[in-house]
Amino acid sequence: MMCRESYCDFVSGFATLSPYELEHLSDNVLVKFEELLADRGDNAKLPLSIQDIKLGITRAMRTIQIEMAEHCMVDAQRKLEKARAETYTPRKVTEADIQQISSKAKLTTAK
């Protein structure tokens, strides 16, 4: 059997899933299979076909990808807000500031 490197990476990555990640994946796959069976209606008693399994796994993986992307967006937004809060931003320079700087400069040059 010849396989692509991405498939080999997927299989080896699957073995390193934490118990939480494995449960999350399993729950998503189960939900998609239950949805497939519900869509079948009266044919729900028939065994799942290869196409059903492919469809269920594909839908589950897409759902997980979307959840992960949304989580990354929320995390990135949180980091951006933190960076904005921690970054020093000087106040706007006013006319009074300019006059004060000018008067100090005149005092130093007059000496």
Contacts of 60 (CB under 8 A, 6+ apart): 25, 28, 29, 31, 32
- The predicted-structure confidence for 61-89, as pLDDT tens digits, reads as follows 999 999 999 999 999 999 998 888 877 66
DSSP state for residue 46 in the 8-state scheme:
S
Whether residue 56 is predicted with pLDDT greater than 60 in this model: the reply is yes
User: What are the boundaries of each domain within the chain?
Assistant: 5-88
pLDDT band at 109 (very low <50, low <70, confident <90, very high): low
CA 46 from chain centre, in angstroms, equals 37
Half-sphere exposure of 99 (CA within 13 A, CB side): 3
| CB 48, CB 20: distance < 8 Å | no
State the average pLDDT over residues 5-9.
86
